[in-house]
């Protein structure tokens, strides 16, 4: 039994759509089909809260996958993430069914305005009494650009340059109110001290925003910042801004190196490495016996279809693979233009080819298959053993993906969580009132952040 006082951060990786991030999940006979109703998400939320998860967060894209063959037909026909609900609305439905579970939503720095995002997430944080997180993304393809009146997506590093300034504006707006300044003295007619609310007056390369923000500070100061960048530029962005990073480890050995690099990057950015939690993304397949778990894994693996990977790779790389010879290598120029550089780099590394082909992308990336990332398969105790090993060596917690919804989370809570709780690795009761409290992250004070100091 572990006596380690350090506890795992547990995050559920959700999609507000017809499937989990494993596309084949919608074909699983045990997956529920009422994903267009609040009850579906509230059911998941209650299960996660019963298991003392820190947070559920929603990944999101701003377009239906329609790059493959230049249209959406295969996406709709095969259910390849064809549905995408607005995540903050779903988040609030889950908030109303829970008291402690943290809730995160993805919002893009490329296609929204900083004042809107600052106001939206500050309001969500008040309405949940300090349980909200913002997953910061830069978006990734031309389909998203087309939905917002643009002809093409911004170049990779330029997106992050814009995102850095976007964060400066949002953080600045969240700092325009000092803590606990509302007096609301009805007799004197005095509401609050105007000297403790300031304008931002930001004028930069990409944005101009005056302020002040119209939303006072929440119990946790401001929402928790999530990020999942894996490229060199994305990791630099995470080191500067992120409080929780979702990391995709190909192996534990590779994960240990990535974990160390992230912590070192935070220190170089002038921050305390303890202010960053690194959560490794894994899939869990648990059953009462090892043989049953393996049978379940085989069944789940058989749910994927070749079109899943082809559609998803095209979406993330921003390239139509449909008319390309399967074994024709990509040129240096084509590889450089790919939107998701960490995916490209993974394929180059795994395939051992400087100029991989479509076949290499499908086989080496694992996109659309069960092999897209680590899978912990076994009894509840065996899965807990795997999680403890990774936690002790190369991460601060886990982002858990589902292969059946809500079944995967019900099995984790029933079969795995009790073993982790016995080892002291997962709480038995929530200890704090906010998401920051439960994650062990400090509460920022008004004035902590100044433009250019982070």
Residues paired with residue 182 on neighbouring β-strands, in sequence order: 192
Q: Which of 371, 219, 391, 387 is nearest to 301 (CA)?
A: 371
Instruction: Please give the backbone phi and psi of residue 358, each rounded to the nearest 5 degrees, phi first.
Output: -60, -45
Residue 219 CA to residue 53 CA, distance in Å, equals: 20
How many CB atoms neighbour CB 229 within 10 A?
Answer: 24
Q: In this predicted structure, what is the pLDDT of residue 306?
A: 86
Q: Which of 135, 258, 154, 256 is nearest to 205 (CA)?
A: 154
Q: In this predicted structure, what is the pLDDT of residue 96?
A: 97
Pairing of strands 277-286, 375-378: parallel
On the question of pLDDT at 396 being above 60, the answer is yes
Mean pLDDT, the chain, integer: 92
pLDDT in tens, 367-382: 788 888 899 999 999 9
On the question of pLDDT at 430 being above 90, the answer is yes
The whole-angstrom distance between residue 263's C-alpha and the CA centroid of its chain comes to: 19
Residues 420 and 380 sit within 8 Å (Cβ to Cβ): no
On the question of pLDDT at 447 being above 80, the answer is no
pLDDT in tens, 301-321: 999 998 898 888 888 778 888
DSSP 416: I
Token pair recorded at residue 104 = 């995160």
Q: In this predicted structure, what is the pLDDT of residue 2?
A: 40
Local structure of 400: helix, strand or coil = strand
Q: Which of 41, 49, 20 is nearest to 417 (CA)?
A: 49
Computed from CA positions of residues 437, 259, 398, 385, in that sequence, does the dihedral angle turn out positive or negative?
negative
Q: Which of 154, 262, 169, 173 is nearest to 207 (CA)?
A: 169
Q: Please state which of the ranges 133-137, 154-158, 290-294 shows the lowest mean pLDDT.
A: 154-158
Local structure of 190: helix, strand or coil = strand
Residues 388 and 2 sit within 8 Å (Cβ to Cβ): yes
On the question of pLDDT at 292 being above 50, the answer is yes
304: left (phi over 0), alpha (psi -120 to 50) or beta: beta
Q: How many CA atoms does the CB half-sphere of 257 hold within 13 Å? A: 6
Residues 313 and 326 sit within 8 Å (Cβ to Cβ): no
Number of helical (H) and strand (E) elements in the chain, helices listed first: 17, 13
Token pair recorded at residue 107 = 């919002």
Q: Which of 67, 145, 146, 22 is nearest to 311 (CA)?
A: 67
pLDDT in tens, 50-107: 999 999 999 999 999 888 888 999 999 999 999 999 999 999 999 999 999 999 999 9
> Percentage of the chain surpassing pLDDT 90?
72
Distances (CA, A) of 238 to 227, 263, 271: 6, 10, 11
pLDDT band at 227 (very low <50, low <70, confident <90, very high): very high
Q: How far apart are the first and last CA of the chain?
A: 40
pLDDT in tens, 35-57: 999 999 999 999 999 999 999 99
Long-range contacts of 448-453 (CB under 8 A, 24+ apart): 448/175, 449/171, 449/172, 449/174, 449/175, 450/175, 451/168, 451/171, 451/172, 451/202, 452/168, 453/270
Our CA angle for 93, 96, 100, nearest 5°, is 115
Map tokens 């910042």 to a residue: 225
pLDDT in tens, 137-161: 998 788 888 999 987 877 878 889 9
> Percentage of the chain surpassing pLDDT 70?
97
Residue 102 CA to residue 427 CA, distance in Å, equals: 15
């Amino acid at each position: 039994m572990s006596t380690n006082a350090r506890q795992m951060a547990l995050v559920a990786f959700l999609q507000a759509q017809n499937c989990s991030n494993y596309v084949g999940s919608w074909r699983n006979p045990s997956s529920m089909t009422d994903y267009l109703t609040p009850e579906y998400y509230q059911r998941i939320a209650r299960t996660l809260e019963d298991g003392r998860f820190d947070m559920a967060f929603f990944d999101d894209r701003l377009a239906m996958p329609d790059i493959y063959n230049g249209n959406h037909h295969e996406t709709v026909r095969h259910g390849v993430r064809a549905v995408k609900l607005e995540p903050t609305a779903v988040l609030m439905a889950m908030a109303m069914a829970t008291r402690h579970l943290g809730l995160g939503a993805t919002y893009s720095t490329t296609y929204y305005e900083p004042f809107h995002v600052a106001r939206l997430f500050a309001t969500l944080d008040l309405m949940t009494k300090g349980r909200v997180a913002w997953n910061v993304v830069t978006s990734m393809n031309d389909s998203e650009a087309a939905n917002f009146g643009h002809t093409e997506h911004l170049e990779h590093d330029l997106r992050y340059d814009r995102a850095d300034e976007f964060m400066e504006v949002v953080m600045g707006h969240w700092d325009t109110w000092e803590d606990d300044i509302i007096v609301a003295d009805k007799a004197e007619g005095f509401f609050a001290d105007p000297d403790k609310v300031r304008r931002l007056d930001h004028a930069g390369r990409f944005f101009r925003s005056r302020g002040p923000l119209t939303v006072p500070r929440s119990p946790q100061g401001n929402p928790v910042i999530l990020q999942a960048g894996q490229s060199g530029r994305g990791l630099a962005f995470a080191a500067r801004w992120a409080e929780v990073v979702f990391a995709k480890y190909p192996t534990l050995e590779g994960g240990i190196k990535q974990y160390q690099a992230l912590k070192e990057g935070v220190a170089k950015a002038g921050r305390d490495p303890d202010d960053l939690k690194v959560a490794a993304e894994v899939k869990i397949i648990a059953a009462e016996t090892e043989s049953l778990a393996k049978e379940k894994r085989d069944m789940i693996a058989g749910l994927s279809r070749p079109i899943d990977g082809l559609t998803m790779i095209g979406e993330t790389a921003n390239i139509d693979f449909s008319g390309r010879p399967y074994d024709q290598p990509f040129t240096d120029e084509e590889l450089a233009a790919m939107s998701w550089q960490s995916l490209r780099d993974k394929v180059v590394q795994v395939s051992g080819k400087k100029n991989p082909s479509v076949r290499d992308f499908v086989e080496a990336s694992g996109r659309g298959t069960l092999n897209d990332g680590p899978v912990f398969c076994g009894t509840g105790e065996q899965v807990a053993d795997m999680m403890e090993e990774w936690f002790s060596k190369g991460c601060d917690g886990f982002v858990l993906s589902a292969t059946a919804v809500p079944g995967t989370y019900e099995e984790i809570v029933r079969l795995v969580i009790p073993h982790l709780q016995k080892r002291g690795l997962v709480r038995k009761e929530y200890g704090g009132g906010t998401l920051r409290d439960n994650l062990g992250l400090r509460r920022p004070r008004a004035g902590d952040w100044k433009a250019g100091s982070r």
